Chain A
């Protein structure tokens, strides 16, 4: 069996609240990052506040929410983080994935796409889930293309759910089913 946590460009590693909080303090100086992955109003948090936030998050939803850091395979550099939150264990076995690549210079290089492939394999081959869902903002075409590439299908469009810079944008919902994934990867 292959190493579940290793891709072609990146690998998933243990989620370290202190390390990530420190990295995010730097990454979020660029407001575009927060606006790409969070619908909330952009804010700046100290490394201490970030650490407390991450620790609380892991403690509170740790049993159903799987947190990982993303590192570059060749030099082990921290690139961002990804989490898979199992939102329904007994019925639909559905989950929600969230992903962030921190530094603008690392965007568009395939790192996020590779991390997403790893988390889908983890979801379907390890956790035996039935679905993985995600939401993405209309103004993030790079992410949308990446999700389409790994097999997510468009399932919903919340019209004008976001208001940024005085303009309304849609919130898009995408999903992939276990059978779609199996067909694409072993079919």
Chain B
């Protein structure tokens, strides 16, 4: 069996709250990173507040599978990725990813982290489908999701409002068999 956590550019890791809070505090200083990843208003949180937030969300994790992303080359912490099981009954989960460090945007690190989390979702959690949402203005993410096999499933008209412009939210999804087929694995 192969190592589920390791690709060719990055590996999935788990970080202690202190390490993560420090990285978040650095990444959050750039509002663009937040506005690509989230629909809440951008905010600046102290390292202490972030650490408490991270510790608190870890308490309730029976349906959350969160990982950090580290580069294989120099073991640098560059972002996070996770799955949130919406329903075990229907075997469905939502995926979220953020590369906090700008230097690693557009270079395939995020795409590989998505591939790893899909592999984890379908081979380890045995999910039947994985969904995600993104802002229509996040073209880089869209390309990456298309590359990893997600299909466009919805467009919520005017779901966001930033910089005085109403923009759409996009929803994408991938089914188990769509993911398994290119891997040459039987469903």
Contacts and interface: CB of A to CB of B under 8 A. Distances in A.
Interface of A: 39-41, 88, 90-94, 130-131, 133, 153, 155-163, 168, 173, 175, 177
A157 B153 contact: yes
Given A91-B162, A173-B171, A158 B89 contact: no
B140 interface: no
B41 A173 contact: no
Contact of B87 (A39, A94, A156, A175): A39
A158 B166 CA distance: 23
A158 B173 contact: yes
Interface string B149-167: 0010111111111100010
Contacts of B155: 155-156
B129 interface: yes
B173 to A, nearest CB: 6
A122 to B, nearest CB: 20
Given A163-B128, A173-B171, A158 B154 contact: yes
B2 interface: no
A173 B90 contact: no
B52 to A, nearest CB: 21
18 contacts: A41-B89, A91-B160, A92-B39, A92-B158, A131-B159, A155-B154, A156-B171, A158-B129, A158-B154, A158-B171, A158-B173, A160-B175, A161-B129, A163-B90, A168-B128, A175-B156, A175-B159, A177-B158
A88 B171 contact: no
Contacts of B90: 39, 161-163
Contact of A131 (B41, B87, B158): B158
A15 B2 CA distance: 55
B175 to A, nearest CB: 6
A33 B166 CA distance: 37
Contacts of A40: 87, 89
Contacts of A175: 156-157, 159
Given A92-B158, A163-B89, 6 more contacts: A91-B160, A130-B161, A158-B154, A160-B175, A173-B154, A175-B157
A35 to B, nearest CB: 11
Interface residues of B, number: 25
Interface in B64-92: 87, 89-92
A88 B87 contact: no
- Cβ-closest 8 pairs across A and B: A156-B154, A91-B161, A41-B89, A163-B90, A92-B159, A156-B171, A92-B160, A162-B90
B87 A158 contact: no
B156 A160 contact: no
Contacts of A162: 90
B111 interface: no
Contacts of A131: 156-159
A39 B89 CA distance: 9
A157 B129 CA distance: 13
Nearest to A41: B89
Interface in B137-151: 151
B98 interface: no
Contacts of B161: 91-93, 130
A163 B162 contact: no
A156 B162 CA distance: 22
A160 B128 contact: yes
